[in-house]
Amino acid sequence: MLLDKLWERGKKFLGVQYPIMCGGMTWVSNITLMNAVCKSGGFPVLAGGNMPPELFEKEIENCITDLEGPFAVNLITIAPNFRLHLEILKSKDVPFVIFAGNFPRKGNVEAVKRAGKRTLAFASTRSIAEQMIRFGIDGLILEGSEAGGHIGYVSLVILLQQVLFETREVPVFVAGGIARGAMIAHLLTMGASGVQLGTRFVASTECTAHPDFKQAFLKAKARQAIATPQYDSKLPVVAVRAIKNRALEEFGQLQLRLLQELNEKKINREKAQYDVENFWVGSLRNAVVDGDVLGGSLMAGQSVGLVNRIMPVQEIMDELVGDAEKELQRIRDLLT
């Protein structure tokens, strides 16, 4: 296949047949979905979220026992349980750790590498990508603002030019707005070592999310997946992209209330930021687990507009790979 040469670096780095990562989505990326991704030749990621430490440890043990290939654990650096999660991970036989939510400190990266694990971090700007490389990160996930969940503010089109075209030191996996094999083909020709998809895998048979949560994805248009604003720098908020519903409105009201309490010195900034993250953890569970698609958070990327049916993971992977190969053959024919 033409794909083999283009994504060879990504295959070797991750140790999988296809360097197609299933992003770590809280309450979604569990052992059931991971198993399906693993068996289809992709790279599964466990979402650490803000799990209670004992549950987090149990989930990792399930991955070690049940999965037949490499996998990663996604750590949310701004989660209240981040430090506890990090300590647990260092002693576990986990091959890859992905830092998400915000950006790790140099000491975090070094500690995980000393524990014998490969590290990946998200990069949402050129300066962050450069900093992560200085910190010794093993690989980057270049994520555009089109993605779902916690995001940066720069679109993938800009990041490709600023970072992907300029970075050779480490493998770069591209994320944000990807749902079709043809797009994967073009990203590989630009220098990507592989890709990460999230929204597309939510619409899979093996995804254990509530049926109403999945149906909300099938009904949504790309423009309905919007990013939350930050109202005031006094309360730094990592933007979250989700399908517009009542929960997004309630998050805006929460920010305004917390800012008022900050101004009145009723709470400190640490407490305010904790309340912000706690809101997303709770509302996301309400949507994914309980099916509350009005009051729960429908975190999704703009690629939700490209998702129109629920398929088994194996069929999703076959379609992505097959379409990518066809697109590369089309490009080859154009050039010759």
Asked, for residue 295, whether it belongs to a domain, the answer is: no
Using an 8 Å Cβ cutoff, are 67 and 101 in contact?
A: no
Q: What is the pLDDT of residue 70?
A: 98
pTM exceeds 0.85: yes
Gap between the Cα atoms of 141 and 151, Å rounded:
12
d(CA 171, CA 293): 37
Per the domain annotation, does 220 fall within a domain? Answer: yes
Task: Give the tokens for residue 262.
Answer: 């900050």
Q: What pLDDT is recorded for position 78?
A: 81
Find the domain containing 275 and state its range. Answer: 211-288
Q: Are residues 63 and 131 in the same domain?
A: yes
On whether both 264 and 183 belong to a single domain, the answer is no
C-alpha separations of 19 from 174, 199, 322, 330 in Å? 11, 17, 14, 21
Residue 236 and residue 194 share a domain:
no
Kindly state whether residues 146 and 6 are assigned to the same domain: yes
Closest CA to 122 of 98, 105, 87: 98
Sign (positive or negative) of CA dihedral 288, 291, 297, 302: positive
Contact 326, 2 (CB under 8 A): no
Selection from 152, 203, 156 nearest residue 306 by Cα? 203
Say what the pLDDT of residue 219 is: 97
| Per-residue pLDDT reduced to its tens digit, 246-283 | 998 899 899 999 999 999 999 998 888 888 878 887 89
Whether residue 300 lies inside any domain: the answer is no
Q: Which residues of the chain have pLDDT under 50?
A: none
Residue range 295-314, pLDDT digits in tens: 999 999 999 999 999 999 99
| Residue 168 is assigned to a structural domain of this protein | yes
Question: Do residues 170 and 217 share a domain?
Answer: no
Say how many domains are in the chain: 2
Nearest to 301 by CA among 252, 239, 253: 239
Q: Are residues 146 and 269 in the same domain?
A: no
Mean pLDDT of the chain: 95
137 and 221: one domain?
A: no
In this predicted structure, what is the pLDDT of residue 303? 98
Instruction: Specify the CATH number for the domain of residue 197.
Output: 3.20.20.70
Query: Is 134 exposed, middle or buried, given 0-12, 13-18 or 19+ CB atoms closer than 10 A?
Result: exposed
- Cβ contacts of residue 184 below 8 Å, gap of 6+? 20, 178, 195, 320, 323, 324
Residue 183 token pair: 């797009």
The 3-class SS string of the chain reads CHHHHHCHHHHHHHCCCCCEEECCCCCCCCHHHHHHHHHCCCEEEEECCCCCHHHHHHHHHHHHHHCCCCCEEEEECCCCCHHHHHHHHHCCCCCEEEEECCCCCHHHHHHHHHCCCEEEEEECCHHHHHHHHHCCCCEEEEECCCCCEECCCCCHHHHHHHHHCCCCCCCEEEECCCCCHHHHHHHHHCCCCEEEECHHHHCECCCCCCHHHHHHHHHCCHHHEEECCCCCCCCCCCCEEEECCHHHHHHHHHHHHHHHHHHCCCCCHHHHHHHHHHHHHHHHHHHHCCCCCCCCCCECCHHHHHCCCCECHHHHHHHHHHHHHHHHHHHHHHHC
Please tell me whether residues 36 and 151 are part of one structural domain. yes
Condensed to tens digits (0 to 9), the pLDDT of residues 46-62 reads 999 888 999 999 999 99
**Residue whose C-alpha is closest to residue 269's, from 280, 259, 254:** 259
Residue that is written with structure tokens 């299933």 in the block: 22
* Residue 241, phi then psi, degrees to nearest 5: -100, 130
Angle (CA) 78-84-89 rounded to 5° is 100
* 180 and 223 inside one domain: no
Residues 264 and 329 in one domain: no
Does 298 reside within a domain? no
pLDDT for 233: 85
In this structure, the answer to whether residues 104 and 161 fall within a common structural domain is: yes
Q: What is the pLDDT of residue 37?
A: 98
97, 170: one domain: yes
